[in-house]
Amino acid sequence: MDFYDGSTALNNCATGDFGLPADRSPRPTTEQAVRAMIAATGDNPDREGLLETPARVARAWREWFAGYGVDPAALLARTFTESAGYDDTITLRSIPVVSTCEHHLAPITGVAHVAYRPGASVVGISKLSRLVDAYARRLQLQERLTSQIAHTLDDVLKPRGVAVVIEAHHGCMSSRGVNQHGVSLVTHCWLGDFREDPVLRRELLGTLPLPRRDR
C-alpha cells in the first residue's frame, strides 16, 4: 500500500489545486509502527492480548486507507448518454463517509450528498458512492474531501454544475481536545450552475437531510 504524507496538501475548492505529492519517504511497516505506539501508551506489546494487535491494525489500516489504491477519475469512466434529455439536478443523498482526520488520525464519520446537472452524459449512481469512498479513505481534511469529490466529478463528467455537501462528526472533537459530542461540520463545494445560481443552491439544500438530528 502506498501512503501519501499529506505535507503539500492544499485545499482550494475554486481551482481544484490539491498539491498532490511529489516524493515519498521511507517508512516502517504498519505493524512495527503500531507496536511502537502500543509501547508508547505504557502498555506491554508482548502481553497476550496485544500480541496480534499490530497485525489486526495493519489489516484495519488497509481498509481505512484503501483510497490511496484507487484512481477516482477511473471510477467515472463508464457513462450513459441515453437519458432521454433529462437535464435536471441528479442528487445522491446520504452517502456514508468513513474517513480519518489528518491532524489526529481520529475517525471522521458522516454523510455526503453529491449532486450534478448533467451535460451530455450521466454516470452510474454507484460510482458517486465509490468516488466519495475513494477520497474519504485517505488522511483527510473535510474541506479537501468535499472539494476533491466535486472537482473530479466536474473534470471527468463535464456536467453543467456540481454540488457536494458533507456533514460529519470528528472524533478529534468528541473524544479529546474540546470533548464536544454532537458537533458536526458542514462543508459545501459549488461548481458551475450551482456556484452561479443561488436558487439552485437553495433548492438543493431544501432537499437535503441537514442538519442531522439523529445523534
Rounded Cα distance between 27 and 80, Å, is 43
Sequence-separated (6 or more) residues with CB below 8 Å from residue 100: 64, 65, 106, 107, 108, 137, 138, 139, 140
Q: List the single partner that 89 binds among ligand GTP, Zn ion, none, CB under 5 to 8 Å by kind.
A: none
Query: Which residue has its beta carbon closest to Zn ion?
Result: 172
Q: Work out whether 189 is an interface residue with ligand GTP (CB under 6 A).
A: no
Q: By CB under 5 A, which span of 43-51, 98-106, 122-130, 151-159 interacts with Zn ion?
A: 98-106
How far apart are CB 178 and ligand GTP at their closest, in Å? 6
Provide the grid cell at 123. Answer: 454516470
Give me the sign of the Cα torsion angle 42, 47, 48, 52.
positive
Q: Does residue 170 bind ligand GTP (CB under 6 A)? A: yes
Query: Which cell goes with 79?
Result: 457513462
- Is residue 62 at the binding interface for Zn ion, with CB under 5 A as the rule? no
Instruction: Give whichever of 47 and 103 is closer to ligand GTP, judged by the CB atom.
Output: 103
Q: 10 Å Cβ neighbour count for 179? A: 8
Q: Does 103 bind ligand GTP (CB under 6 A)?
A: yes
Pick out the residues of the known binding site.
101, 104, 172
CB of 17 to ligand GTP, least distance (A): 17
For residue 182, what are the contacts with CB-CB under 8 A and spacing of at least 6?
Answer: 169, 174, 215
Does residue 173 interact with ligand GTP by CB under 6 A? Answer: yes
Q: Which of 9, 90, 92, 172 binds ligand GTP (CB under 6 A)?
A: 172
